[in-house]
Amino acid sequence: MRVWGVTRSGKGDHTHAEKILAVSELNEALPHADYVVIAAPETPETRHLIAAEQLGRMKRGGRLINVARGSLLDETALIAALKSGALGGAALDVTGIEPLPAESPLWNTPNLFITPHTSAISERLWERETELFLKLLDQWFSGKELSNRVDLSRGY
């Protein structure tokens, strides 16, 4: 598998990514992807980050996975792309309205897998959470700068 990442700046850790592009290059990257995973924060700039234009640039039969926030994806455009067969499938761990109402058209959309906002859950969840908590606690009591700090100036 070849992995490309997209960040605000186009910079990032290349340990697991062959290429990292700036978000301004997202539309050029989409036609190369078999799978697109949305894992960005919710900010005013990321609302409908993936909309009809972006879905239209994806490979026919491509797959989309959203584990971020429902507001990053235009669900109406996703439904249309799945119904037309332009996309081969999608998985949503988040939706614009949660819990997802019974009358939502997402429930009847072909090739759509919906989970109840549980993508972070694994057998190692509490182990990872405990490690992070202990690391932050050590940083706090040592007077060091805290990692994983919320950056309000960036909107998250």
pLDDT by residue (tens digit) across 88-122? 999 999 999 999 999 999 999 999 999 999 988 88
Helices then strands, each counted (H, E), the chain? 4, 6
Which residues does 149 contact at the CB level (< 8 Å), separation at least 6? none
Catalytically active residues are 69, 98, 117
pLDDT-based confidence at residue 148 (cuts at 50, 70, 90): confident
Up-side HSE of residue 25: CA atoms within 13 Å toward CB?
14
pTM: 0.86
